[in-house]
Amino acid sequence: MISGILLFNQKGENLIFRSFRSDCRPRLADIFRIQVISNVSVRSPILTLGSTTFSHIRHENIYLVAVTKGNANAAVIFEFLERVRGLGKAYFGKFDEEAVKNNFVLVYELLDEILDFGYPQNTETETLKMYITTEGVKSERGIEDTSKITMQATGALSWRRSDIKYRKNEAFVDVIEDVNLLMSATGTVLRADVNGQIVMRAYLSGTPECKFGLNDRLTLGDTDTIGPSGNRAGTKATRAAAGTVALEDCQFHQCVKLGKFDADRIISFVPPDGEFELMRYRATENINLPFKVHAIVNEVNKTQVDYSIAIKANYGTKLFATNVVIRIPTPLNTARISERVSQGKAKYEPEANNIIWKIQRFSGQSEYVLNAEATLTSMTNQKVWSRPPIGLSFSLLMFTSSGLLVRYLKVFEKGNYSSVKWVRYMTRAGHYEIRSA
Amino acid sequence: MAPSILSLPPTPTSILPFGPPDHGRMPTIRTIGKVAELREELRSGGKKDKNHSAKKIALKRIVANMTMSNNDMIALFPDVVACMHIPSLEIKKMGFLYLVNYARIKPDQALKALPILVQDLNDANPLVRALALRTISYIHVREFVNATMDPLKQLLKDGDPYVRKTAAFCVAKLYDHDRNLVENSDLIDRLNTMLRDENPTVVSSALASLMDVWERSESIKLTIDYASASKIVQILPDCSEWGQTYILEAMMNYVPVDTSDASILAERISPRLSHSSSAVVLTCIRVILYLMNYISDQKVISSLCTKLSPPLVTLLSKGPEIQYLALRNALLILQRRPEILRNDIRVFFCKYNDPIYVKVTKLELLFMLANEKNINEVLTELREYATEIDMDFVRKSVRAIGKLAIKIEPAAKLCINTLLELVATKISYIVQEATVVIRNIFRKYPNQYESIIGTLCENLDSLEEPEAKASMIWVIGQYADRIENSDQLLEDFLFTFQEEPVEVQLQLLTASVKLFLHRPTKCADIMMKTLNMVVNDADNPDLRDRGYMYWRLIAHLPGNNIDIAKLIVLGEKPSITAESEKLEPATLEEMCLNIGTLVTIYLKPVQQVFRTARPRRLQDSPALQKHSLPSYQANLRDTEQRKSLALLNTSIVAPQSFMSPNRGDSYNANGGNLDAAMDAAEMYFSGLGNAQMAQMQISDAAYTGSPGTQANSPSGYFSGEQHGQRNGGQHQNNGDGDFLRF
């Protein structure tokens, strides 16, 4: 398994070096610096030299590196590095060089706790925060206290403390969909799919058992159980609200009882306290595309390119998207852009070779147009322009591209237990690309 | 050493007052000063420092400097050890950290801390017991290892599960320090009994520890029977994602005896495919694919196959590194169980911002999944990729189009048209790449697409790379009779003969001879000139030997009958296929037992990448479905081929039935016998299909870049201690085993 974890800054300075096995020697830090950080032609997150493998991910301005010997489980390595990244963010807010340098001791302490002999141990933030804190170990605890921690760290419910109390029990469910589109220049949809995640913020006392239902075909069996307050927002959510949605696949948080889901399609779980990602899903059928883009990019001659970009909102008039940004690539030798827009603001960004067209508020069914003319400098060595795709980003509340809705969320706990539940829907652009060639 | 880091922006100001790590080994005056200062701080405070806050601050600074100041902190060893007596968990933790870091360099100093650690092993606080145990077992010093043995036996039975799981890993650690010590004790047995522990985390930790020991031991065997397998599968849901991974890994050591056992267990672990952790999902896929080797019921197999596909695709919504891993494994799974990824090719279309390593792997998958039905869609995509910026990716896309022409016969025309469109862009690297693949298309479909030679000839000037040049020269030689000015073209190339690399020189030689054979009267001069250059001036033995071979062949033709030479030089060659790019069946089988591991990134036999890795093989059992294994089926094919070869040897009179019938008639007149012998020889060599065959190809017509030769070329960059820049680069640029050779 993992022989050592190393953290570097962008200059290649080794910030953290923690070896978990005797085969992880300090000189490996130099090798990584030379072979990966200062090597401009690096094209892979994995480098094997001899029997040593360096696997790395990047985050902010640091490199997180795992060193392994032999044929290790690469999925464990990368999943673990992701978890370190997540822990870093949970502990320090922003996990960058400065955070590491301000918290050397804590980073080492965490690494010592979440890896033993290179084997990942409990990495649940909630549990770790019980005994590894930014303030250092506050006081020496009583035996009872510590055994609670150890049970927590090794127990079946390692993600939840048992003694949680709230005056008001509340649960917020966010359905967030990233819609991916790849459209050809002729308007054919080459691929459209949705990567959805359901994020929950649970502020619930005790150890409640939750049941969760969607309008997907997987859970169609139990139509008679419509939740009381679950789908408050559902009615105006989308045009596709009626009917059911076919999910290609879903993956669940550790807390969800997978056996139960496999057997009778019920999503049942004891939630962690606070925010967590309950599930991820993928949908590819009947995707509602929030925006239709029609782009004409005409290379008039060697010194001029004309653009005519029309964008239409494809959702109900009551809804509106915010922060709509359209990135229109321009040739590398663009000298000047003149542009007109029917809405929003457009600006040429020479450093990114883009025209950025921003529309703050885009209401349903409306349509806007950009006309632009790029003047190019003539170059002796005329290269063909690769015409990158036009990209979109936006966020749109109360709309799901897949048509997914939450049908119910039920919370069960002993005694006189009442809880309030809220649902929110949002669709964002994932990779929303329109080819212009 | 001071590596130059050119492309990186300056980092924000460092907030800690120490210099860069790259100063020499000798402590500088500044650090000597700093060490003295820290020592002073550690000793200061005394009774006034009630909460030891001064000491804590000093220790924090020491820890901060451990990694970044080249071991200067080691001078503080005695002072740090002196602090470890203080009853504060915070100080203890920092002290232990220091100890783990430096004990190996200063074992004698470290010994002074040993009593403290041993005492903590009996602490009332389970967190402290575990911490002490974890720390003491990291230290590779004999006394520490010995001192761990006895307390460990107690701690394996500790009342607290957190201590027990730490103790379980401790056994593997001790085994790493001193395997004899562990093998001569009863620790392994004790570890085994922990598999019955009531706490799932303890069980999975004990399993992981056992697996770790087994991985490195020749004497210890790890076998799991159905009852144990069933039991550990039972506790899967109660384990953390890591615990689940360890258990699933252990399942690879279970050998089903009964085919229904395999079905039941595969069904029972399949819910794990919905876990959000890619480690659980990929390891679960590995186990299910493994168990499928022992399942006879085709219904069960196909139901499992449908379950495997969606989670694999869902991994593509994770970070790019995990996407990459999932894609590499998809390449593998596709070859073993093609039905798994049959659904939608579009999920593998490249996004514009995908990292290059993801793009290249997607490209390979698109190539493998392309068929007659989706070829239009695929070609439109590839055509798009061929205009992107990254040169390497563009080349691979062009190459893929050419290979699709070879792979999917009905689409050949379509692929060639796409290639010609790309040639029309006149971008030199695209033209060069297209030239190389068009050469291969000619080899695959002789006498069909030669009409496009004209287009190729228009772009001769943009050919600079040896491979492209050699390809073009091959085309000129091979089709000298159809290219009107072939003698002129070749003479142009010959003008720079001396400066060309051997690869091109060999091709020029062969082409000159072919040209002569096509046009004996007109082009004898060209050939003689080339032969003279080769025989008299060439240093390269291969080149010279081949020159002599041609020379003697032509000089000793019986009755000066040039047709005999034609038969030899321009004889029919076995056509190429796209099949040869798949993994060897035995390799494929082994790789499937390693799904999700590092070796799947390289797609090469495990032993070739990691020489010391423990080999994994499918264990025989009554339930093993031998007839469906790739290696078994390949053997079957081999045997059949050998049979037909035997047939050929005895009935050499009628070889036509084995070869394509549309050969030129010119040399049939020369008597079928020689013809038949040639065919037999070629048949024989094509049957070998190994390195030997590659050799044959090189000396036949120097098909550089043919899949066979490249796949077999020993790249040797896994060899141990070579950390050269070039080696590193090679590994990375491919970022993969590159087994498709785009």
pLDDT of residue A10: 93
- Distance of alpha carbon A180 from alpha carbon B612, whole angstroms: 44
pLDDT of residue B57: 87
A-proximal residues of B, 651-710, CB under 8 Å = none
Pick among B18, B25, B67 to test the A interface (most A CBs inside 10 A): B67
With 90 as the cut, is the pLDDT of residue A42 above it? no
Put simply, the answer to whether A182 touches B351 (Cβ < 8 Å) is yes
Asked if the C-beta of B60 comes within 8 angstroms of chain A's C-beta atoms, the answer is yes
Contacts of A353 (CB under 8 A, 6+ apart): A329, A330, A331, A332, A334
Q: What is the mean pLDDT of residues A53-67?
A: 96
Residue B626 tokens read as 């031998």
Of the candidates B59, B605, B616, the residue with the CA atom closest to the CA atom of residue B287: B616
With 50 as the cut, is the pLDDT of residue A228 above it? no
Q: Average per-residue pLDDT in chain B?
A: 81
pLDDT of residue A352: 87
Q: Quick one: which H or E segment has residue A298?
A: strand A291-301
With 90 as the cut, is the pLDDT of residue A41 above it? no
A-proximal residues of B, 269-308, CB under 8 Å = 270-272, 274-279, 281-283
Please report, rounded to a whole number, the percentage of residues in chain B having pLDDT higher than 90: 45
With 60 as the cut, is the pLDDT of residue B726 above it? no
Q: A182 to chain B, minimum CA–CA distance in Å? A: 8
Q: Residues, chain B, total?
A: 742
State the pLDDT confidence band at B320, using cuts at 50, 70 and 90: very high
Each residue's pLDDT tens digit, A143-180: 667 777 888 888 777 788 777 889 999 999 999 999 99
Higher pLDDT pick, A119 / B536: A119
Asked if the C-beta of B349 comes within 8 angstroms of chain A's C-beta atoms, the answer is yes
> Which one of A79-93, A140-154, A297-311, B672-686 scores highest in mean pLDDT?
A79-93
Higher pLDDT pick, B131 / B577: B131
State the pLDDT confidence band at A357, using cuts at 50, 70 and 90: very high
Residues of B in contact with A13 (CB under 8 A): 20-21, 68
What ipTM is given for this predicted complex?
A: 0.85
Q: A170 to chain B, minimum CA–CA distance in Å? A: 25
Residue of A33, A97, A279 lying closest to B11 (CB–CB): A97
Higher pLDDT pick, B49 / A154: A154
Residue of B nearest to A285 (CA): B344
Put simply, the answer to whether A79 touches B425 (Cβ < 8 Å) is no
Put simply, the answer to whether A43 touches B357 (Cβ < 8 Å) is yes
Phi, psi of B464 (to 5 degrees): -120, -35
pLDDT of residue A65: 97
With 60 as the cut, is the pLDDT of residue A355 above it? yes
Q: B341 to chain A, minimum CA–CA distance in Å? A: 13
Q: What is the mean pLDDT of residues B657-685?
A: 42
Asked if the C-beta of A30 comes within 8 angstroms of chain B's C-beta atoms, the answer is yes
pLDDT of residue B444: 86
Q: Average per-residue pLDDT in chain A?
A: 87
Residues of A in contact with B313 (CB under 8 A): 248-249, 282
Q: B582 to chain A, minimum CA–CA distance in Å? A: 22
The region of weakest confidence among A3-7, A430-434, B15-19, B380-384 is B15-19
- Distance of alpha carbon B440 from alpha carbon B436, whole angstroms: 7
User: Which DSSP state fits B351?
Assistant: P
With 70 as the cut, is the pLDDT of residue B20 above it? no
Asked if the C-beta of B591 comes within 8 angstroms of chain A's C-beta atoms, the answer is no
Residues A74, A100: contact at Cβ < 8 Å?
no
With 90 as the cut, is the pLDDT of residue B691 above it? no
With 90 as the cut, is the pLDDT of residue B349 above it? yes
Asked if the C-beta of A42 comes within 8 angstroms of chain B's C-beta atoms, the answer is yes
State the pLDDT confidence band at B616, using cuts at 50, 70 and 90: confident
pLDDT of residue A134: 67
Residues B126, A146: contact at Cβ < 8 Å?
yes
Each residue's pLDDT tens digit, B394-443: 999 999 999 999 999 999 999 999 999 998 888 888 999 999 999 888 88
Residues A15, B67: contact at Cβ < 8 Å?
yes
Q: What is the mean pLDDT of residues A202-222?
A: 77
Q: B161 to chain A, minimum CA–CA distance in Å? A: 7
Please report, rounded to a whole number, the percentage of residues in chain B having pLDDT higher than 70: 80
Asked if the C-beta of A85 comes within 8 angstroms of chain B's C-beta atoms, the answer is no
Residue of A38, A391, A437 lying closest to B5 (CB–CB): A38
Asked if the C-beta of A105 comes within 8 angstroms of chain B's C-beta atoms, the answer is yes
Higher pLDDT pick, A421 / B687: A421
With 90 as the cut, is the pLDDT of residue B286 above it? yes
Residue of B310, B356, B597 lying closest to A248 (CB–CB): B310
Residue B727 tokens read as 């080696």
With 70 as the cut, is the pLDDT of residue B505 above it? yes
Pick among B163, B173, B240 to test the A interface (most A CBs inside 10 A): B240
**Which residues in B253-291 are b (16+ Cβ under 10 Å) and which e?**
bbbbeebebbbbbbbbbbbbbbbbbbbbbbbbbbbbbbb
Q: What is the mean pLDDT of residues B161-187?
A: 94
Say whether A178 sits in a helix, a strand or coil.
strand
Residues B454, B422: contact at Cβ < 8 Å?
no
Asked if the C-beta of B74 comes within 8 angstroms of chain A's C-beta atoms, the answer is no
Higher pLDDT pick, A139 / B151: B151
pLDDT of residue A142: 60
Residue of B1, B237, B279 lying closest to A73 (CB–CB): B279
User: Which DSSP state fits B10?
Assistant: P
Strand partners, A340: A371
